[in-house]
């Protein structure tokens, strides 16, 4: 791992009291002398979570005797590749090194030898670890405590829920979702890989907090209306005052009640056209993922990395799903959370008004 230290850029920021650091250290198997690369940004005038969390992790890993490199960039507001220094640093990671990403947004996609390569693929080929807790720009000061509460998950409960949910995901063909706000949407599974974010980084987990089971639906199968209480856009997560309507037809998001969502979609289409993605008009609006949150300590707080993990919620994504076992490739993957859903797998009720029945 290359040596970089941008700590001077974080001098004016206060650290967080991170009581869950011991749990994080245990989950990722970090020991004295290990190499840790931290990436964060300086936030904005109203958004200070990323730099404060970056400084907190830097101090904690230094305290335990790790070899720590720190990159502090400016807050990103557009899609695009990672900076040259981030790309160089990530590509320098070796077996069992840890990459900690705690940005207001993501670090950007990695370009290697002129081609886009996913973090998941890099992890698999180089066997380094990723602690991804980015997309924090929508997190308000009043929700900070609730956000950190999600770090204090009950590992035993999550393991048990995932043991029950994973087989149900694998066996299901038709998924239907309703909610009190008017959601009425369905799509189909095709027995693809089911991913379990349960803290076992050796098998899967790259993001934190943990607590979701998900898979990729058939890309042409989503039909109906969904009302979402939290949604991801370029630059952060939005908590709307009123739930936002998403309309699907034959797998595509064809309409929304939110101008913000429509603007985000157009930016995605324009960016994918620029990058010469073959199906640039439809790929960014294609159903990409369906998942169920399993973390009792997580709440909808305005950071999608936490919102989608809240116990009893479900979420769907649009955009790229190739790296998760799907067939749709493009730049961009955007999650959307449905609160208090009722969910059926092949007619069997799995969730009722936000209460897991497994």
CB-hemisphere CA count at 13 Å for 229?
Answer: 18
Q: Is the model's pLDDT at 316 over the cut of 90? A: yes
pLDDT (0 to 100) of residue 161? 98
pLDDT bin (cut points 50, 70, 90) of residue 346 is very high
The helix (H) or strand (E) run that includes residue 304 is helix 304-307
pLDDT (0 to 100) of residue 71? 98
pLDDT (0 to 100) of residue 115? 87
How many residues make up the chain in this entry?
A: 358
Question: Which of 5-19, 204-218, 280-294 shows the lowest mean pLDDT across its residues?
Answer: 204-218
Section 247-271 average pLDDT: 97
Q: Is the model's pLDDT at 314 over the cut of 90? A: yes
pLDDT bin (cut points 50, 70, 90) of residue 138 is confident
Which residues partner with 129 through β-bridges?
98
pLDDT (0 to 100) of residue 205? 59
Q: Report which of 234, 259, 235, 233 is spatially closest to residue 245, judged by C-alpha positions.
A: 259
Dihedral-angle region of residue 126 (phi above 0 means left; psi in -120 to 50 means alpha; beta otherwise): alpha
pLDDT bin (cut points 50, 70, 90) of residue 260 is very high
Backbone angles phi, psi at 48, to 5 degrees: -120, 10
Contact by Cβ (8 Å): 179, 340? yes
Dihedral-angle region of residue 354 (phi above 0 means left; psi in -120 to 50 means alpha; beta otherwise): left
Contact by Cβ (8 Å): 302, 143? yes
pLDDT bin (cut points 50, 70, 90) of residue 215 is very high
pLDDT bin (cut points 50, 70, 90) of residue 353 is very high
User: In sequence order, what are the residues at sequence separation of 6 or more whose Cβ sits closer than 8 angstroms to the Cβ of residue 46?
Assistant: none
Give the residue ranges of DSSP H helices in 64-205.
84-91, 119-126, 144-149, 155-171
Contact by Cβ (8 Å): 71, 6? yes
Question: Which of 202-206, 208-212, 245-249, 280-284 shows the lowest mean pLDDT across its residues?
Answer: 202-206
Q: Which two tokens stand for residue 322?
A: 């190739």
pTM for the whole thing? 0.94
Measure the CA dihedral 271/255/318/358, to 10°.
Answer: 170
For the segment 176-194, what is each residue's pLDDT rounded down to a tens digit? 999 999 999 999 999 999 9
Q: Is the model's pLDDT at 204 over the cut of 70? A: no
Q: Is the model's pLDDT at 203 over the cut of 80? A: no
pLDDT (0 to 100) of residue 355? 97
For the segment 61-87, what is each residue's pLDDT rounded down to a tens digit? 999 999 999 999 998 878 889 999 999
pLDDT (0 to 100) of residue 120? 81
Share of the chain above pLDDT 70, in %: 99
Q: Cis before residue 209, ω within 30 degrees of 0? A: yes
Section 218-228 average pLDDT: 98
Query: Which residue segments constitute the domains of the chain, with CATH numbers given?
Result: 7-137 (3.40.50), 155-356 (no CATH)
* Average pLDDT along the chain: 94
Q: Which two tokens stand for residue 139?
A: 């997190």
Distance of alpha carbon 330 from alpha carbon 280, whole angstroms: 7
pLDDT (0 to 100) of residue 212? 97
Q: Report which of 312, 305, 301 is spatially closest to residue 145, judged by C-alpha positions.
A: 301
Contact by Cβ (8 Å): 97, 34? yes
Q: Report which of 106, 124, 171, 130 is spatially closest to residue 30, judged by C-alpha positions.
A: 130
pLDDT (0 to 100) of residue 29? 92
pLDDT (0 to 100) of residue 64? 96
């Amino acid at each position: 791992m290359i040596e970089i230290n941008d700590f001077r850029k974080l001098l004016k920021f206060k650290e967080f009291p991170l009581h869950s650091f011991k749990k994080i250290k245990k989950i990722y198997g970090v020991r004295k002398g290990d190499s840790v690369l931290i990436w964060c940004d300086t936030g904005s005038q109203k958004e200070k979570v990323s730099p404060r969390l970056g400084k907190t992790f830097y101090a904690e890993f230094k305290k335990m005797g790790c070899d720590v490199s720190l990159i502090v960039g400016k807050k990103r507001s557009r899609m695009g590749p990672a900076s040259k220094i981030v790309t160089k640093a990530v590509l320098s990671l070796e077996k069992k090194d840890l990459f900690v990403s705690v940005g207001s947004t993501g670090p950007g996609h990695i370009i290697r030898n002129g081609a886009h390569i996913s973090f998941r693929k890099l992890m698999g080929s180089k066997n380094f670890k990723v602690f991804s807790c980015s997309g924090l720009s929508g997190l308000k000061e009043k929700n900070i405590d609730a956000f950190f509460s999600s770090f204090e998950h009950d590992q035993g409960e999550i393991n048990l829920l995932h043991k029950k949910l994973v087989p149900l995901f694998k066996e299901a063909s038709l998924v239907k979702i309703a909610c009190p706000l008017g959601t009425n949407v369905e799509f189909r599974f095709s027995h693809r890989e089911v991913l379990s974010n349960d803290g076992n980084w050796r098998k899967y987990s790259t993001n934190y907090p943990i607590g979701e089971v998900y898979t990729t639906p058939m890309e042409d199968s989503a039909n109906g209306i969904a009302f979402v209480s939290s949604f991801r856009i370029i630059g952060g997560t939005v908590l709307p005052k009123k739930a936002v309507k998403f309309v699907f037809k034959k797998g595509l998001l064809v309409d929304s009640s939110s101008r913000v969502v429509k603007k985000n979609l157009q930016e995605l289409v324009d960016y994918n056209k620029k990058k010469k993605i073959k199906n640039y008009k439809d790929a960014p609006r294609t159903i990409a993922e369906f998942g169920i949150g399993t973390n009792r300590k997580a709440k909808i707080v305005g950071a999608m990395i936490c919102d989608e993990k809240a116990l009893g919620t479900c979420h769907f994504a649009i955009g790229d799903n190739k790296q998760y076992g799907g067939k749709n490739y493009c730049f961009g993957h955007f999650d959307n959370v449905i609160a208090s859903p009722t969910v059926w797998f092949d007619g069997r009720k799995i969730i009722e008004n936000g209460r897991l029945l497994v």
